[in-house]
Amino acid sequence: MHVLKLRALAAAAATVGALAVAPASANAAYWVGLGDSFAAGPLIPSQTLNPLGCLRSTRNYARLASAQLGKTLNDASCSGAETAEMTTPQSTYAGTNPPQLNAIAADTRVVSLQIGGNDIGFTDILTNCQTANPFGRPCQDKYVRNGVDELRARITATAPKVAAVLAGIKARTSARILVLNYEAILPSSGSGCWPQVPMAWADVPYVRGIQLELNAMIAREASKAGARLVDAYTASLGKDACKSSGTRWVEPLIPGNAAAPFHPNARGMQGVAGPVAAAAAGA
């Protein structure tokens, strides 16, 4: 998903840990990690320099899971990536990330993928739905007009794009494909935790429903492509942005752990790495 105020966040990256350079290997990696900021790990120490603008952590789940299995990894993930950047270069304010599918070789054995959130503008949605007044329903007023839900229409339009990415992976390799849905940002029930997550009480069930629909679409496309779904959402239930800083996997608007707002922290990456490694084992 898109990272809020990428320039400011990248400047902050220098304060959350030493920067680490992870040079690309001349040999094809066993595992290729693809995806957006939920895969990359913005502001989780340490951040890599290749390129800095991708805000890619050395402790994201693909790196942790591949290390757990003792496998080599080519991490091509990049904050802000949409499905289009799987096949086209992604320009950031601090460098260009090559087309992510270019990281795949014919003998790649595992490909992990988390994509689609930026295509529907999910982080922008969270930003637009913030309010200083917990009453009313400003988010629904913005996105649902005359009975037409713009966000659900975006999800429908994104489905063939996710399908095309999966087809592109399969055209390059016979690797095991692991598709991740998105971790829970909001609690699974109730009206949220304004002002920690400054969203109107009546809008919380609506936005939660949008994330569930996005995740359901991702699961359908993964199933149709014969890929394995790694259910990061279920794994993260009870660890959403409304929980305490010592419990949550996803940070609220004002992070209490080193991570970007409304994105996974190091605990969340570690928590997701377990199911990812289990799904990759034996590939």
Phi-psi region of 141 (alpha: psi -120 to 50; beta: other; left: phi over 0): alpha
Is residue 19's pLDDT more than 70? no
The mean predicted confidence, pLDDT, of the chain is: 92
- Model pLDDT, residue 127: 85
Q: What is the predicted pLDDT for the residue at 1?
A: 57
Evaluate if residue 6 carries a pLDDT over 50: no
pLDDT, tens only, 183-230:
999 999 999 999 999 999 999 999 999 999 999 999 999 999 999 999
Q: Which tens digit of pLDDT belongs to each residue from 144-183?
A: 999 999 999 999 999 999 999 999 999 999 999 999 999 9
How far is the C-alpha of 277 from the C-alpha of 92, rounded, in Å?
A: 30
Architecture of domain 6-280: 3-Layer(aba) Sandwich (3.40)
Mean pLDDT of the region 125-152: 95
What's the distance, CA 239 to chain centroid?
Answer: 16
pLDDT of residue 12: 46
The residue count of the chain comes to 283
In the chain, what are the domain boundaries?
6-280
Query: What pLDDT shows up at residue 126?
Result: 87
Query: Which pLDDT score is estimated for 2?
Result: 52
Q: Give the rounded percent of residues in the chain with a pLDDT score beyond 70.
A: 90
Across the range 79-94, mean pLDDT stands at 97
pLDDT of residue 4: 43
For strands 110-114 and 31-35, give the pairing.
parallel
Structure tokens at 239: 């660890």
pLDDT tens digits, one per residue of 105-123? 999 999 999 999 999 998 8
pLDDT at 261: 96
Positive or negative, the CA dihedral 91, 92, 93, 96 is: negative
- 24 versus 133: the higher-pLDDT residue is 133
Residue 111 makes CB contacts below 8 A (sequence gap 6+) with 31, 32, 33, 34, 104, 169, 173, 175, 176, 177, 178
Q: Is 13's pLDDT higher than 80?
A: no
Q: What is the 3-state secondary structure (H, E, C) of the chain?
A: CCCCCHHHHHHHHCCCCCCECCCCCCCCCCEEEEECHHHHCCCCCCEECCCHHHCCECCCHHHHHHHHCCCCEEECCCCCCCHHHHCCCEEECCEEECCHHHHCCCCCCEEEEECCCCCCCHHHHHHHCECCCCCCCHHHHHHEECCEEHHHHHHHHHHHHHHHHHHHHHHHCCCEEEEECCCCCCCCCCCCCCCCCCECCCCHHHHHHHHHHHHHHHHHHHHHHCCEEECHHHHHCCCCCCCCCCCCCECCCCCCCCCCCCCECHHHHHHHHHHHHHHHCCC
